[in-house]
Amino acid sequence: MECVFGLVGKGFAIVAADTSAVNSILVHKSNEDKVMVLDSHKLLGASGEPGDRVQFTEYIQKNVHLYQFRNGIPLTTAATANFTRGELATALRKNPYSVNILLAGYDKGVGPSMYYIDYIATMHKIEKGAFGYGSYFCLSMMDRLYHPDMSIEEAIDLIDKCIIEIRTRLVVAPPNFVIKIVDQDGAREYAWRESIKSPDVSMA
Amino acid sequence: MKKMKVISPILMEVSWVPCSPLRRVRIGPIKVRYRMLLLVFRLSFLSFFPSLSLSQHFAPTRTKPHHRISVSLNLKQRKQREEKRRMMMKLDTSGLESFSAAVPSAMATAEDQLFAPPSFDLPAGCADFDKFQMEAKQTLKHAKGTTTLAFIFNQGVIVAADSRASMGGYISSQSVKKIIEINPYMLGTMAGGAADCQFWHRNLGIKCRLHELANKRRISVTGASKLLANILYSYRGMGLSIGTMIAGWDEKGPGLYYVDSEGGRLKGNRFSVGSGSPYAYGVLDNGYRPDMTVDEAHELARRAIYHATFRDGASGGVVSVYHVGPNGWKKLSGDDVSELHYKYYPVQPTPVEHEMVDAPPA
């Protein structure tokens, strides 16, 4: 099942997600990027039904860009989170999206922040969070090992420990993960953790 | 004359006539024809129930429970009862006020029989639509009885598919075209509902052509697959069954996308779709190298589909293999899988375990 988790450190926020696209027993793809770069300083890690996930996150991304074009300034992370939650809530009683979201962003003045948004439009501002079967293993580990204002090395170390724990203990463990980071320099891909490399012509 | 029991009209009107209406019967000292008696009964009956129409009494007699004297059988209540009876099939009736609930059910059925206009059962899906929809989706889930595959390699894209159409255990056709030519440089594969795939691929071809005319350049594979994915997403949950791959060659080179009716769209280098896809993946993943020649890729695709048709009952017929290059697609081959079987595994003489020999002559 899909695992998305993340945490906030000193001046940055990290979101990690697995990268397998699965259909019942079949793994269609092991390098599907599920953490979307919303704009220069925001990351949106999403898990859920494949159609919903792509369509909803693209919808949020386009609306974030639209705000920036119209108003000349980008949305803050808190505003984006509230907008996302509002869209999920409006659709909930009509045509619900089955997507769980971890939104991470960096704002000047406020610093890094992370929001947990459920598929039924629950929203919380958090320091560390996880979705999926992997959350059963990661949450307690993060509770134990996390402390505020971690450095990048410590945070990546914690993320790696979580990935190793998922691979060890989860029966349908995804083989590959992607880690993305957002700090004052922007949102970017940090690393891939691959245990299965496919001989591909080009990275999909 | 045979003694006849006459039942008082106040208690009940019987459903059968005890004798011929012309026959003379005796009540105490009085001798009358039976039909006179019946008339008297009915008229007295009518006096108790003034709202009944006269036709009720000159129609064949029915059971009439006596203590329903207080019933005023007006149109509204009749409709309510009829509504209630219709609603009894699994719909929520808690909000409805029902007269029959106040009265023992034995009386209720008699009442319904007497006064309900002719009615019929609701069609199968209407009473519990959610369950019906779930069942419909379930039956379609097994419908992707096919094997299709496509992969990108250095020289372009290879697309291959079988040609069997099955409905449960019945093979309806061995010669279905599962590779659909959207335009001269793009192919789509069919898995799931044949009608759905054919229609929506044709529709996609129209949209691609319109894009070409409007923008004076060919649409990219990314764009074409996104068009299809958005259409299918908007019909999500309505029972479309499509598992397709869009393969083509555009300005960026070879492109391959997997699109399905759940709304998913994946970009990739190797895909196989259908009930035989795990078997095809086994052979395809093992033999794949990005730097194959066209002939090697052709043979790999054909072999993968053959092995899938061997193990999967819903796949078979003819393996078609296409190649999409910079100048568009070209059909490479179409081979019957049973012939391929004997080509790959020719019959070999095997030692007989038990031989029947004649008994040696004594």
A160 touches chain B (CB under 8 A): no
Contact list, A49 vs chain B (CB under 8 Å): 262-264
User: What's residue A204's pLDDT?
Assistant: 36
User: What's residue B113's pLDDT?
Assistant: 58
Place of tokens 């039956």: B139
Cβ contact B263–A21 (<8 Å):
no
Which of A89-93, A160-164, A188-192, B67-71 is predicted with the least confidence, judged by mean pLDDT? B67-71
Torsion angle (degrees, nearest 10) of CA A54, A59, A61, A62:
130
Place of tokens 């996150």: A57
Q: Please give the structure tokens belonging to residue A69.
A: 């074009």
Report which of residues B41 and B254 the model is more confident about: B254
Phi, psi (5° rounding) for residue B262?
-75, -10
Single-letter residue type at B328: G
Per-residue pLDDT of B41-83, as tens digits, reads: 777 766 665 544 444 444 444 445 444 444 455 667 776 766 6
Cβ contact A51–B258 (<8 Å):
no
pLDDT surpasses 70 at B243: yes
- Whether the pTM exceeds 0.80: the reply is no
The per-residue pLDDT of chain B, averaged, comes to: 79
Pick from B85, B93, B78: nearest CA to B121 = B85
**ipTM of this predicted complex?**
0.83
Cβ contact B288–A199 (<8 Å):
yes
> CA-nearest residue of chain A to B259?
A51
B228 close to B244: Cβ distance less than 8 angstroms: yes
Q: Which of A98, A198, A201 to mutate to test the interface with B (most CBs of B within 10 A)?
A: A201
Q: CB under 8 Å to A46, separation ≥6 — which residues?
A: A4, A34, A35, A36, A53, A56, A57, A99, A100, A101, A102
The yes-or-no answer on residue B93 being catalytic is no
Which of A72-81, A190-199, B292-301 is predicted with the least confidence, judged by mean pLDDT? A190-199
Q: Which of A19, A24, A29 to mutate to test the interface with B (most CBs of B within 10 A)?
A: A29
3-state secondary structure chain A: CCCEEEEECCCEEEEEEECCEEECCEEEECCCCCEEEEECCEEEEEEECHHHHHHHHHHHHHHHHHHHHHHCCCCCHHHHHHHHHHHHHHHHCCCCCCEEEEEEEEECCCEEEEEEECCCCCEEEECEEEECCCHHHHHHHHHHHCCCCCCHHHHHHHHHHHHHHHHHHCCCCCCCEEEEEEECCEEEEEEEECCCCCCCCCCC
Strand B265-267 relative to strand B253-260, pairing? antiparallel
Question: Choosing from B146, B147, B189, B244, which is the catalytic residue?
Answer: B146
Q: In whole angstroms, give the CA distance from residue B49 to residue A162.
A: 83
Report which of residues B318 and B145 the model is more confident about: B318
Per-residue pLDDT of B118-139, as tens digits, reads: 666 666 666 677 776 677 655 5
Which of A54-63, A194-203, B9-18, B117-126 is predicted with the least confidence, judged by mean pLDDT? B9-18
Cβ contact A28–B152 (<8 Å):
no
Q: Please give the structure tokens belonging to residue B316.
A: 């078979």
Q: In whole angstroms, give the CA distance from residue A140 to residue A28.
A: 31
pLDDT surpasses 80 at B116: no
User: How far away is chain A from the Cα of B130, in angstroms, using its nearest Cα?
Assistant: 15
Pick from A10, A11, A17: nearest CA to A129 = A17
3-state secondary structure chain B: CCCCCCCCCCCCCCCCCCCCCCCEEEECCEEEEHHHHHHHHHHHHHHHCCCCCCHHHHCCCCCCCHHHCCCCCCHHHHHHHHHHHHHCCCCCCCCCCCHHHHCCHHHHHHHHHHHCCCCCCCCCCCCCHHHHHHHHHHHHHCCCCCCEEEEEECCEEEEEECCCEEECCEEEECCCCCEEEEECCEEEECCECHHHHHHHHHHHHHHHHHHHHHHCCCCCHHHHHHHHHHHHHHCCCCCCCEEEEEEEEECCEEEEEEEECCCCEEECCEEEECCCHHHHHHHHHHHCCCCCCHHHHHHHHHHHHHHHHHHCCCCCCEEEEEEEECCEEEEEEEEEHHHHHHHHCCCCCCCCCCCCCCCCCC
Mean pLDDT of B306-332: 94
Burial B14-27 (b: 16+ CB within 10 A, else e): eeeeeeeeeeebee
Per-residue pLDDT of A27-40, as tens digits, reads: 899 999 999 999 99
Pick from A59, A63, A32: nearest CA to A47 = A32
> CA-nearest residue of chain A to B235?
A51
Q: In whole angstroms, give the CA distance from residue A131 to residue A116.
A: 9
> CA-nearest residue of chain A to B279?
A26
Q: In whole angstroms, give the CA distance from residue B137 to residue B196.
A: 14
Q: In whole angstroms, give the CA distance from residue B360 to residue B275.
A: 55
Mean pLDDT of B290-300: 95
B13 pLDDT band (50/70/90 cuts)? very low
In A, residues 51-110, which contact B (CB 8 Å cutoff)? 51-52, 54-55
Exposure of B56 by Cβ count < 10 A (0-12 exposed, 13-18 middle, 19+ buried)? middle
Pick from B200, B208, B276: nearest CA to B242 = B200
Residue in B152, B153, B258 closest to A28 by CB? B258
Report which of residues B43 and A157 the model is more confident about: A157
User: What's residue B3's pLDDT?
Assistant: 53
Per-residue pLDDT of A107-125, as tens digits, reads: 999 999 999 999 999 999 9
The per-residue pLDDT of chain A, averaged, comes to: 93
A200 pLDDT band (50/70/90 cuts)? low
pLDDT surpasses 70 at B294: yes
User: What's residue B124's pLDDT?
Assistant: 63
Per-residue pLDDT of B182-235, as tens digits, reads: 989 999 999 988 889 989 999 999 999 999 999 999 999 999 999 999 999 999
Mean pLDDT of B332-352: 90
Cβ contact A54–B269 (<8 Å):
no
Residue in A51, A52, A204 closest to B269 by CB? A204
Pick from B274, B313, B309: nearest CA to B166 = B313
Report which of residues B338 and B62 the model is more confident about: B338
B202 touches chain A (CB under 8 A): no
Q: In whole angstroms, give the CA distance from residue B271 to residue B263.
A: 17
Contact list, A23 vs chain B (CB under 8 Å): 260, 264
